[in-house]
Amino acid sequence: MALAALIAAYLEDDSGSLRALLPIAGRTLLEYQVRCASAAGAAPIVVLVDRIPIALNQVLERLQQEGLPVVTVGDGIEAASRFEAGEMILLVADGLAPPPELLASLAEEQEPVIVTVPDDEAHQRFERIDAVSRWSGVAIVDSQTLGATAAMLGEWDLQSTLLRRALQGGARISPLAPGAGEPLLAETDRDLADLERHLLVASRGSRRDWASRYILPLVEEFATEKLIETRVRPEALVQAALLLSIGAAVAFGGGWPRTGLALLVLTTPLGLIARRLAALRLRPMSARSLSRRLLWPAAGLALLALGWWQAEHATGWGALFAAGTAAALSEAARIERGKLDFPGEIWLMSRRNAIIAAVPFAIFGAWTFFLIALAIYAGVSFFVVQHANHRILSELTTR
């Protein structure tokens, strides 16, 4: 069944500004709400507002430019007209920062349901339902109930009245499940500070190589916190890494190996930062991104360019052979590894590991020794991955 969303955005904070405009992770609360609803599969996403200040209009324009199905309405009657008959509607309360996983679980509901939180001190801001529970700020209602509520609304608050009508209509009450994430009802920007920090920490993701786990975290953390407040696109960072890698290949081929390596070192945190920005904005990067897929071949091209220069101007054909061997074994290890996880994987060959490992060799100008060491490193990684694959396959076949 199709799912739509209705987000209330008309309450004000202490300063007289809309709660929907409270800042969170470099964006506004409304942008966070819309992206959460979109990630849950909701379309259209209807935003109920009394007035549209310039700041809110800019937010709505940004969301529409990103292709999100956002429309605004001024009252309940207009809101009800935006939904099809029989459509299920994801209701998000004004000022609520919902956990994305909670909305994703609600998207699978086929009948009205009200999610509740305990009536305790930690949830005093949430609207009380009965003696033991309060409304969590998210619910699934049907378009018929919304239409009937809007028709008799008068001067009453739409989200509260709709909640009561849904309860009277027999909507199922569902306590917030453990592990579903804790919704946050914000009234000031201070209320969102802890959530913003939590989002930044949660966006770190896994570290699959030693360079990203031990060398790059400080740079990655600093850059992510600065860039989240800008309009820099994650894809633009990956494209920058690709251009720097191609520039490194040109530098290696032209006989400027330290310049080439410096360009490659600059690429190492960009993919990590891009992934985190995409996660914070609830718009994960596509696995089919051409720029991401070309990063590895571009790094291989730079490696071969270094081997060619060394072969032509320094140590002869052995350098080019070592570079080619390293590139081939690295690609084989990458294909064999896939998404396989196993203990000690961070020490295996990766693009970032290879680049950072080159730095001590570059200090002494030992480029051919680096190529030989890299070929050995790639070969060991390939055989370790093969062994891990065969062991896992053997365990599966013996069960």
Co-location of 247 and 186 in the same domain: no
Please state the three-class secondary structure of 81-102 as a single string: HCCCCCCEEEEECCCEECCHHH
The tokens for 248 are 């490194």
Give the N- to C-terminal CA distance of the chain in Å, as an integer.
39
Co-location of 314 and 168 in the same domain: no
Co-location of 174 and 310 in the same domain: no
Closest-CA residue to 32 (of 184, 178, 206, 232) = 184
Closest-CA residue to 89 (of 52, 45, 27) = 45
Q: pLDDT at position 236, please?
A: 94
The tokens for 16 are 């007289």
Which CATH number characterizes residue 49's domain? 3.90.550.10
Domain count, the chain: 2
Residue with tokens 């480029």: 367
User: Is position 36 within any domain?
Assistant: yes
Instruction: Walk along the chain (399 residues) in steps of 10 and give the mean pLDDT of each run.
Output: 88 83 88 92 92 90 89 90 91 92 88 93 89 92 91 78 90 84 85 80 80 93 87 92 97 96 96 89 77 93 96 89 95 85 87 96 95 96 88 70
Q: How far apart are CA 127 and CA 109, in angstroms?
A: 22
Co-location of 186 and 301 in the same domain: no
| Tens digit of each residue's pLDDT (9 = 90 or more) over 307-331 | 999 999 888 899 999 999 999 999 9
User: Is position 83 within any domain?
Assistant: yes
User: Is position 277 within any domain?
Assistant: no
User: Is position 280 within any domain?
Assistant: no
Q: Which of 157, 192, 227 is the last residue of a domain?
A: 192
Q: What is the CA radius of gyration of the chain?
A: 27
Co-location of 38 and 178 in the same domain: yes
Q: Which of 139, 165, 192 is the last residue of a domain?
A: 192
CB atoms within 10 A of CB 208: 17
Question: What are the helix and strand counts (H, E) for the chain?
Answer: 16, 11
Co-location of 167 and 243 in the same domain: no
CB atoms within 10 A of CB 259: 15
| Tens digit of each residue's pLDDT (9 = 90 or more) over 291-302 | 999 999 999 999
Residue pair 28/201 in contact by the 8 Å Cβ criterion: no
Co-location of 180 and 259 in the same domain: no
Q: pLDDT at position 182, please?
A: 84
Residue pair 164/156 in contact by the 8 Å Cβ criterion: no
Residue pair 145/162 in contact by the 8 Å Cβ criterion: yes
Strand-pairing partners, residue 114, are 139, 173
Co-location of 241 and 173 in the same domain: no
Residue pair 310/319 in contact by the 8 Å Cβ criterion: yes
Q: pLDDT at position 369, please?
A: 96
CB atoms within 10 A of CB 239: 19
User: Is position 88 within any domain?
Assistant: yes
Residue pair 319/311 in contact by the 8 Å Cβ criterion: yes
Co-location of 266 and 187 in the same domain: no
Closest-CA residue to 244 (of 273, 270, 264, 271) = 264
User: Is position 227 within any domain?
Assistant: no
Q: Which of 158, 192, 226 is the last residue of a domain?
A: 192
**Displacement of CA 125 from its chain's centroid (Å):** 29
CB atoms within 10 A of CB 376: 14
User: Is position 213 within any domain?
Assistant: no
Q: pLDDT at position 133, please?
A: 92
| % of the chain exceeding 70 in pLDDT | 97
Co-location of 35 and 112 in the same domain: yes
Co-location of 94 and 176 in the same domain: yes
Co-location of 188 and 244 in the same domain: no
Q: pLDDT at position 399, please?
A: 60
User: Is position 267 within any domain?
Assistant: yes
Closest-CA residue to 134 (of 191, 169, 183) = 183
CB atoms within 10 A of CB 356: 21
Closest-CA residue to 7 (of 57, 79, 99) = 79
Residue 358's domain comprises 235-271+286-397
Cis geometry, peptide bond prior to residue 269 (ω within 30 degrees of 0): no
